[in-house]
Amino acid sequence: MALPQEKNYTIEDIYALPEGQRAELIDGRIYMMVPPSTKHQQLVSEFTITIGSYIRSKGGNCSVFPAPFAVFLNEDDRNYVEPDISVICNKNKLDERGCNGAPDWIIEITSPSNTENDYNIKLFKYRTAGVREYWIVNPRTKTVTVYDFEKEERSNQYNFDDTIPVCIYEDFSINIADLLS
């Protein structure tokens, strides 16, 4: 849910929020975040472990960061997001505050309060910012929408029971039903 648009907000406004209040900033508009559900957090945890284990097993140079983790998408003061999972392969984008620029792979897990943002607003922002791959995981419908922004023909929708290929890694796939068993 967006706050009433009285002004053009900046990252300073995000950092001025009361302790414990989380929000995202997209094109100068603040979107408040509600506490995640248990299922949401279970998925974040399992994705983090699975992706991190894969990267380590391959000796990869990418890092996986679960939310809350700051991503300054356009390296400006009008865009700040906290994707549920961010995979960053360029270490030069990382500093003490978070990621400056687009992560390579983002996973968002929908909740009733943010579904429209994930499927519409963030889809556009992530694509235009240079994210290579974007997954929208919907626990309610048990579906995953995968966007491969490098090869549009590989974008697809899957069910939790499907083995889902990871676009940025040729030899990696994830079965969400297996993660939750």
Whether the predicted pLDDT of 98 surpasses 80: yes
pLDDT per position as a tens digit, 116-169: 889 889 999 999 999 999 999 999 999 999 999 998 766 899 999 999 999 999
User: What global pTM score does this model have?
Assistant: 0.93
H/E segment holding residue 135: strand 133-138
Contact 98, 86 (CB under 8 A): no
What confidence score (pLDDT) does residue 154 get? 65
Distance in angstroms (rounded) separating the CA atoms of residues 176 and 181? 9
> Is 59 exposed, middle or buried (CB count within 10 Å of its CB: 0-12, 13-18, 19+)?
exposed
Contact 143, 157 (CB under 8 A): yes
DSSP per residue, 64-91: EEESS--EETTSSSS-BB--SEEEE--G
- Per DSSP, what are the bridge partners of residue 135? 107, 146
What Å distances lie between residue 150 and 39, 75, 130, 181, CA to CA?
30, 21, 9, 32
H/E segment holding residue 100: strand 98-100
Percent of the chain with pLDDT over 90: 81
Contact 55, 62 (CB under 8 A): yes
Phi, psi of 34 (to 5 degrees): -95, 155
Q: What is the mean pLDDT of the chain?
A: 92
